[in-house]
Amino acid sequence: MIIFFYLLIVMSTDPCTNALAGSQLASACACQRGMEALETAISTYELDYLAWTAAEAEYNQKYREWQTAHSAWETKKNTDLAAFMDQKREWIRCVVWTNVNGHDDWCASDIEPGWVQVSAAQYDCAWGSGKGTCSPGPSAKTSFLTKWAIANPEPLQPLAHAAFGKTLPPLNIQCCTQLFSNITAASVDFDKISQDCSQNIGDQIDEAAGIKKDPLKEIKKFI
């Protein structure tokens, strides 16, 4: 019984309950319902945007960390490669000096496949003989980088963070069209707009319903 009387009181005090279709009051009441729906949408939008900005900040941090790690990885790779390519080693055999040049095959067999002859010297051989000097060639460089990458995996770049793709629903609230122009999550105070629009709609409902304004409440709005 108490609930019944409560509903009667609410229905009797809500001007929108008996608003005639097509009337100014009905239009204002429709605006009110639209405003309530939009406030819910805005609340969800704001929460989604806050979650997105947090994820964006986390991605930016991970990206900066990746840049640092990848730079260190590149530096180590180049340093290790330079040290490998700068190596010079001689054959294990001594040959007569007239046959000391042009033997990449002896570099490959005595040292490692892919090494090539770059010069020759007497080393510890008898007078009139010597050994070839070898260094890593192109194929040895490729082999070195392949093995190096296996032992030193390249830091993976974090997946790109998607742009914020959420949008507000169409703004069909004619009472507050000007208030809701050019809305963006980053630049608009939704709460302030919602309050202004709700006040605008409330004033229109009161005016259409012939409800006199409380002078004291009107003063408080500006305090």
The pLDDT tens digits for 99-120 are 999 999 999 999 999 999 999 9
Contact between 28 and 201 (Cβ < 8 Å) = yes
> Per DSSP, which regions of 103-184 are E strands?
115-121, 129-136
Domain membership of residue 159 (yes or no) is: no
Domain membership of residue 28 (yes or no) is: no
Q: Give the mean pLDDT of 190-215.
A: 64
Looking at residue 215, its pLDDT comes to 47
Quote the domain boundaries for residue 135: 84-151
Number of domains in the chain: 1
Domain membership of residue 57 (yes or no) is: no
Domain membership of residue 166 (yes or no) is: no
Looking at residue 130, its pLDDT comes to 96
- Name the most confidently modeled range: 116-130, 165-179, 190-204: 116-130
Mean pLDDT for the chain overall: 79
Return left, alpha or beta for 182; rule: phi > 0 is left, psi -120 to 50 is alpha, else beta: left
Helix or strand holding residue 199 (H, E): helix 190-209
The residue ranking higher by pLDDT, 212 or 79, is 79
Domain membership of residue 103 (yes or no) is: yes
Domain membership of residue 118 (yes or no) is: yes
